[in-house]
Amino acid sequence: MDSTEWKIGAVLGRGTSATVRLAIYGGGKDDESIAAKLMAVKSAKSSYSSMLKRERQILEELDGCSQIVHCYGDDLSVNKYGKPVYSIFLEYAPSQSLSDCMKSSKSAFPESQVRRLTLSMLKGLVHIHSKGYVHCDIKPQNILLWSSVEVKIIDFGWARRSGKRSRGTSTIRGTPLYVAPEGPARNVYEKPADIWCLGCTVFEMLTGNPARWVPDNADMPTLLLQIGCGGLMRRIPETISKEGKDFLRMCLLREPERRWTAEMLLNHPFVSSGSAKHRSPPLSRSPCILPPGSC
């Protein structure tokens, strides 16, 4: 895709390694509607281009799922300083992220909406996991609202192949507020880690607060130690429905092998009730307060 055909607009987001901007196609009047010409262009300097190229490759392998952002192609250009810049062209979602929406509303989402948004997220996760990948950074900031009940999962910068042995590194793959305990504790990032992140995201939608609380002035080593031990988790409020509490329990079990898979969660009453497509298993009988765990 030729970047000269596009006019780069406002910044949509900025991270350590890449910047996302709005792009508008500069074609003639006979082109399709302007809505079809809007894209998000994610660009990185040459030093970070390998990460972005890998993200494009992953998105190509995940193509065909409506709950995952689509990649239209890439381009190598030169910025005003004569430095090479690598870009990928992504599907543009005019709506906010879950994070932005929660910040603007300053309140929890209605549970009926959370159920449908969670179903949409699960469909995306089932596809990601079926292709042999782990997203590793499911959180409200990486979930775009496509409609009031449909989402697009974005930002595969931390994604990895499932079953691939992690290198001996202390780098956290993902975001500490949402990362599963086995990440900091054992450097393990497999499909159950995505389920933990999903549970944290659903908790936040249902309550308006993060599932994990962070002490004031906590230093990172101590924080990661507590996360690895399964601590810092809030109670599941009694105001949440029976199905909602059980769904969160199945996502936020400390032992990754006990967490439900994305396919299993598709059949959970919290998202499948009233649907003829899914047979709902009985609710679990585990307690509704998340154990803090111990080292």
Instruction: Give the active site residues.
Output: 137
Strand (E) or helix (H) holding 19: strand 19-25
Q: How far apart are the first and last CA of the chain?
A: 51
Token readout for 212 is 């994990």
Rg (CA), the chain: 20
Cα–chain center distance at 161: 16
What does the DSSP assignment read for 252-291? Answer: --SSGGGSPPHHHHHTSHHHHTT-SSSPPPPPP-S-SS--
Task: Go through the chain and tell me how many residues it has.
Answer: 295
CA dihedral 116, 117, 118, 124 (to 10 degrees): 110
With CA atoms as reference, report the closest residue to 225 among 266, 192, 279, 183: 183
With contact defined as beta carbons under 8 Å apart, do 230 and 178 qualify?
Answer: no
144 C-beta neighbours (distance < 10 Å), count: 24
